[in-house]
Structure 1
Amino acid sequence: MLQIDSLTKRYSNSDVALKGVSLNLRAGEVVGLIGPSGAGKSTLIRCVNRLVTPTSGRIALDGQDLALVSGSALRRVRRQIGMIFQEYALVERLTVMENLLSGRLGYVGFWRSWARRFDAQDIARAFELLARVGLAGMENKRADALSGGQRQRVGIARALMQQPRLLLVDEPTASLDPKTSRQIMRLIMELCAERGLAAIVNIHDVVLATQYLPRIVGLQAGQIVYDGPAAELDAGALTRIYGDEDWTAITRKHSDQMQQAGTDGARAAAYPEPEVMP
């Protein structure tokens, strides 16, 4: 579905953010992107949706090279790519519903959006998404009246309004408390599974990443130094990604989580919940 080949990004000040990055994503596959600050994680995501223009390399979505498109062709491609931002990127003075419907800008155009002329089908889809992300009944609240977790849920629903095939998620839990972070990660994974969406999730919390994301890609100084299952992200891999450190606490916590997941799965199989008749 998504093929990134030898992607390089050099900024005008001669800083090289990406050095020949190659990465493939299958339809429906969700990948966690980890690494220290300045490793190139956000640049990689922004190159994929062309918020940043790569210096060289190829980014192909279903065979179409995104590095070569511009103008109306780029706008059409971006309809297939939903973006979820760290700082939510909501219009504070607008309502939840108005922010949600802005996800249809790529389809209805600026003037129809400005005049609040949306199709009944789009409005119905917005109500469905609000209910799905746990915000039913909040459509008329202003964005600036929401908590951080609620704002992120609006951002997720807005991205899904595009009906994308690929989600790019940039630090979705950076501003959230631990409980809300887990809820948001669980919601993202459930929505991707329900809709068959592929996703790249840039995340700084290694424990959270290994708990929810099956495949981990580690960046260091603009290069991929780890690409594999979350279960195999050991102290050696973490050292390659982040540098020398005592990773005992993180690897132990990850191991405990894997064991607990196995215990919970076995318990659920042995003692299934009784079926509730309608």
Structure 2
Amino acid sequence: MLKINNLHKEYPGGDLALQGVNIELKKGEIAAVIGPSGAGKSTLIRCINRLVESTAGEIILQDQNINNLNKKELKNARRKMGMIFQEYALVERLTVMENVLSGRLGYLSFWRAWLRKFPQKDINQAYQILDRLGLKDHVYKRSDHLSGGQRQRVGIARALMQNPDLLLVDEPTASLDPKTARQIMRLITEMARERELAALINIHDVLLAREYVSRIIGMRKGKIVFDGSPADLNKDTLTTIYGEEDWNNFKNKDQENLTSEGGNDLADREQRKLQLAASSSN
């Protein structure tokens, strides 16, 4: 379905964001990419759909090498890659429905897109997706009147409107409180499974990754240093991914966030999960 071979990205000045990345993702497979800031997670996601151009390597999606496509071919390939962003990437002055329907723009002629003349079947599909995501009462609200969690649901709906084969998800929960973050992560993984979509989810929250996906890819300094089951995320592997000092800071910061957002009971439960993640050897 998706195969990444020896992918490199070097920025001007010599910064190496990706160094020989190899990933294979099957249809319906959901994987989370974790790692410290600067590990190359977002660069990886954006190289796949060529929002960022890689320096070397192959990105094969449905037997097409994305790096070799011309402008028209890339536009067609991007139809099958739904993107969900950390900061939602909505047009704030447009309604929820208008933002969701923008997921179909790649399928319309120039004039139909310019005039926003969407086929009725697209409108019907948008209603169905919004209902499934709990937004049926917000269809005609402006997007700048929504909460963060609601805005991210609109972003999910827009991506699903493309009828993609692959979901590329870049830090979908980073701007959300812990409760909403779990709701959003649950929705993304549920919708991917319902539609048998492959999904690559860039996420900082190790607990959410452990809870909702069956495969975790750990990155550090542009390289993959772990690729396996959440059950294999023990103290040693987490230290390999984050580094000893970084990992200790991560644990402390996570505890602070949970205590301030969710109360002591929630913090206690999540801390036990975190301790399990760090100490389990099974």
On whether the aligned pair clears a TM of 0.5, the verdict is yes
Match of residue 88 from structure 1: 88
Match of residue 113 from structure 1: 113
Determine the C-alpha separation between the residues in 2 that align with 1:88 and 1:13.
30
Match of residue 170 from structure 1: 170
Tell me which amino acid in the other structure corresponds to 2:61: L
Determine the C-alpha separation between the residues in 2 that align with 1:221 and 1:164.
30
RMSD value over aligned CA atoms? Answer: 1.6
Determine the C-alpha separation between the residues in 2 that align with 1:46 and 1:76.
17
Q: What are structure 2's unaligned runs of at least 5 residues?
A: 256-269, 278-282
Structure 1: which 4+ aligned runs deviate by more than 6 Å? 247-251
Determine the C-alpha separation between the residues in 2 that align with 1:111 and 1:149.
33
- Quote how far apart the aligned CAs of 1:14 are: 1.4
Alignment map for 1:33-44 (pairs within 5 Å)? 33-44=33-44
Tell me which amino acid in the other structure corresponds to 1:91: V
Q: What are structure 1's unaligned runs of at least 5 residues?
A: 258-278
Deviations 1:209-229 (A, max 9, x none): 111111000000000000000
TM-score by length of 1: 0.89
Aligned residues: 257
For the residue of structure 2 that corresponds to 1:137, the secondary structure is helix
Match of residue 261 from structure 1: none
- Quote how far apart the aligned CAs of 1:12 are: 1.5
Tell me which amino acid in the other structure corresponds to 1:253: K
Q: 205-214 or 245-254: which moved more?
A: 245-254
- Quote how far apart the aligned CAs of 1:137 are: 2.4
Determine the C-alpha separation between the residues in 2 that align with 1:148 and 1:110.
32
Q: Identity of aligned pairs, percent?
A: 60
TM-score by length of 2: 0.88
Tell me which amino acid in the other structure corresponds to 2:228: G
Determine the C-alpha separation between the residues in 2 that align with 1:256 and 1:17.
31
- The reply on whether 1:205 has 2:205 as its aligned counterpart is yes
Alignment map for 1:103-252 (pairs within 5 Å)? 103-245=103-245, 246=248, 252=272
Structure with greater proportional helix content: 2
Deviations 1:114-151 (A, max 9, x none): 21200000000000010011001211100000000000
Deviations 1:155-201 (A, max 9, x none): 00000000000000000000101110010011111101100000000
Determine the C-alpha separation between the residues in 2 that align with 1:109 and 1:240.
49
Determine the C-alpha separation between the residues in 2 that align with 1:34 and 1:145.
32
Tell me which amino acid in the other structure corresponds to 1:172: P
Q: Could you tell me whether the CA contact under 8 Å between 1:30 and 1:199 is conserved in 2?
A: yes
Match of residue 52 from structure 2: 52
